[in-house]
A and B are shown apart, each in its own frame.
Chain A
């Protein structure tokens, strides 16, 4: 360890204060602090500090994403081989998926981190770790065959317009990963919707109709899959969104470590179940009469509510606000699914919509506290008068 430390200290020298490459210090710091938690000690405030830092928090989210990602890699191959009617082994499916998805992850991280590093150097602050999560989320919510350059442009849009334009990490209004997906959806609709994009290499094969369950329902047809397939995730869809089972494993990691807000997750499930139930009672078309509990299993709902809606920056920040925000995401998700025939998946738009309203929700929650305080002041005045 000390050998590595000494080497790093040597490497850092030209980046030090007053040295030739001082401006680029954030870049070398990012590598250094990846290897070592720095020797910085407290200067002001509490002398002792908690073991947690933003790196640990973000890595915990990445770990929570891994089960869904690994399953997504397998499912990509599985969908490809089963739809094409070819025989395959587990490894074949996994390797096919990996060959498709790993390049997407590499592109996403490379482009995003390059921009993050550039902004850190430009603004003279350290590289924030938020993109470790965003960079992984973006490929996980894309259709498998989307060209790499589209992934790259979506990342650029998300980081530049979605985040840095607002002042960088912690200041953005919209979830950056969803901003990337929304950008891709509206900029390249043919790659992002339809019945061919959800199965790897299906676009040039006529016999395949790899549409999603929500796609079938929107077209007025049956779901076509049993509940176990919906839960386990052996259905076509965005790369890592299909398996509710593995997403729940991620949710458990987030909730147990306290990194993800259970209030938002539970609120989302309550909101979606309530709305689904209401539509079940109404039940005039396939999407409305689709059982409310199956609504929770299909599409990007589970993934969105666990990994996207809980983004602490773009979600509501007060405890009460998180409940309201979560419930509304759930309600709007099912509403958009049912009422928007052009776009049967509603979770992305529901979360983006609520991202915009989250500050307003918080405003009213905080305002209630302010009012309470004012009331107390008035009561005190009466007492002394």
Chain B
């Protein structure tokens, strides 16, 4: 039994550089890295120090504010460095990997035989807990909460995103086991959303409420789906988890080992090989894409929400796509004239791009203008498929008016839901950053 969700507002950006449907094993990195900066609002408390030997699944650090939330090593090896930044903030913990992984044994378990508390403890001990995020606030879930529902979106609608059904195609048993475990953590439903045209095993799972989603991006954003399925009210918590991580959790229960292997799509016009690679969490991006020139922007994640990373850096903890686009730091003479430079896509009809809805574009990271006052109205509403007034919410977020932010729907949104607003904004707004700052204020003030 499935429920259809049809999204009308939004924008499908068609970009060149899609990953070819081919999975290769990435060469094993010599060094792996876990970046505490990937975990929003987590201050790491180190357990290991340089020189310590770790197995795959051994704790590296835990959260200062919740010592049960542990972050573990994805591989076995030796801790080589704890890189620090300003005010001794830990930026990266690097591990010199062994040639072959030695796994910490967590024991084979059947989720059906375990209580909710036992499953929770198992996930916390094995370092799988950080996979689970909560809404509101888009941070790692608090293990002491009991969520009203769990949401998993297996529909990636972002431009050049990894095809989730393709990367999960051989992991039915792991995925089902993951669902069996996770669904015990909530007294409510476990919701799984798939593309309307999906025909993979995801349609045949037990223990989930299936939703078929259609429509332009951000239809695949889990926040948009929550809004249409079971919206969040003040004080409520729902948990969300990426589908690939559900499979990792499932494999933990089935094998007793934490196998942090991901299938990562390498996409974008500058990618030397735009295809899928099997690699472990913490893999160095250089080991997959090689060395690229400085004129290429490496984005861990998709072009709308990802992080800019260096060639020597590791792929982000939550990311399953690496996108390479030209930096685009060039001048364009009279580029502001309407109907000039039609090779740059535009949602507005001041470029001929709208006449060719199926044309694929090569994009770069140029701002295509300068930041300006908020003048144009209505454009944000066109890409926000929620019953939320985005411009009004952003303005309240900018001035930090908590009461207004609450009443305008801050609990329902995550920065990624404002990614298209970033993209389309005539004023070159940074809406995602504004929302992130506002969510942090809410965490501090409301909790």
Contacts and interface: CB of A to CB of B under 8 A. Distances in A.
A370 B375 contact: no
A322 B389 CA distance: 14
Interface in A341-385: 362, 366, 369-370, 372-374, 376-377, 380
B422 A49 contact: yes
Interface stretch (A100-108, A168-176, A295-303): A168-176
B44 interface: no
Interface in A24-71: 33, 35-57, 59-60, 63
B350 A54 contact: no
Contact of A37 (B303, B350, B353, B368): B368
Contacts of B328: 41
Interface residues of A, number: 60
B426 A51 contact: no
A55 B351 CA distance: 13
Contacts of B372: 53-54, 126, 128-129, 169
16 contacts: A33-B336, A40-B366, A41-B327, A45-B432, A45-B433, A47-B299, A48-B303, A49-B425, A52-B368, A56-B336, A126-B372, A312-B375, A312-B376, A366-B408, A373-B409, A380-B236
A176 to B, nearest CB: 12
Complex A-B, nearest 8 residue pairs according to Cβ-Cβ distance, in ascending order: A53-B369, A170-B373, A37-B335, A46-B422, A55-B336, A51-B344, A45-B422, A51-B346
B428 A53 contact: yes
A258 B426 CA distance: 12
Contacts of A380: 233, 236
Contacts of B77: none
A354 to B, nearest CB: 15
Given A39-B331, A54-B426, A373-B409, A317 B391 contact: yes
B330 A52 contact: no
Interface string A1-33: 100110000000000000000000000000001
B389 A318 contact: yes
A291 interface: no
Nearest to B395: A317
A266 to B, nearest CB: 14
B216 interface: no
Interface of A: 1, 4-5, 33, 35-57, 59-60, 63, 126, 128-130, 168-171, 256-259, 261, 312-313, 315, 317-319, 322, 362, 366, 369-370, 372-374, 376-377, 380
A170 B375 contact: yes
B255 interface: no
Contacts of B41: none
Which residue, of A33, A37, A130, A372, has the highest number of chain B Cβ atoms within 10 A?
Answer: A37
Given A39-B330, A54-B375, 5 more contacts: A39-B331, A46-B419, A48-B303, A52-B346, A259-B348
B426 A130 contact: no
B331 A376 contact: no
Contacts of A43: 430
B233 A50 contact: no
Contacts of A42: 365-367
B291 interface: no
A321 to B, nearest CB: 9
Interface in B396-415: 407-409
Contacts of B170: none
A261 B375 contact: no
Given A37-B331, A40-B366, A46-B419, A51 B387 contact: no
B113 interface: no
B422 A35 contact: no
A1 B331 CA distance: 10
B374 interface: yes
Interface stretch (B57-65, B239-247, B274-282, B304-312): B304-312
B335 A50 contact: no
Given A259-B348, A318-B389, A312 B407 contact: no
B349 A258 contact: yes
A222 to B, nearest CB: 42
B337 interface: yes
Given A41-B367, A170-B374, A47 B304 contact: yes
A49 B368 contact: yes
Identify whether the interface residues of B are mostly helix, strand, loop, or mixed. Answer: loop
A269 to B, nearest CB: 19
B424 interface: yes
B82 interface: no
A40 B370 contact: yes
Contacts of B103: none
Contacts of A63: 338
Contacts of A45: 419, 422, 429-433
A135 to B, nearest CB: 15
Contact of A52 (B231, B308, B426): B426
Contacts of B233: 376-377, 380
B423 interface: yes
B183 to A, nearest CB: 20
A46 B306 CA distance: 8
A85 B13 CA distance: 61
B347 interface: yes
Given A169-B375, A170-B375, A317-B377, A38 B331 contact: yes
Contacts of A1: 333
Given A40-B367, A60-B338, A169-B373, A48 B430 contact: no
Contact of A48 (B348, B364, B375, B426): B364
Contacts of B347: 50, 52
Contacts of A38: 331, 367, 370
Given A38-B331, A45-B433, A47-B325, A56 B337 contact: yes
B304 A48 contact: yes
Given A41-B365, A170-B373, A50 B346 contact: yes
A214 B420 CA distance: 47
Contact of B350 (A128, A259, A366): A259
A374 B233 CA distance: 9
Contact of B369 (A52, A169, A318, A370): A52
B350 A56 contact: yes
A315 B376 CA distance: 11
Given A39-B331, A59-B336, A370 B365 contact: no
A1 B387 CA distance: 47
A51 B353 contact: yes
B24 interface: no
B66 interface: no
A59 B337 contact: yes
A312 B427 contact: no
A134 to B, nearest CB: 12
Nearest to B297: A47
B382 to A, nearest CB: 9
Contact of A44 (B335, B377, B432): B432
Among the interface residues A50, A57, A60, which one has the most CB atoms of the partner chain B within 10 A?
Answer: A50
Contacts of B391: 317
B357 to A, nearest CB: 15
A29 to B, nearest CB: 8
Contacts of A35: 333-334
A376 B365 CA distance: 41
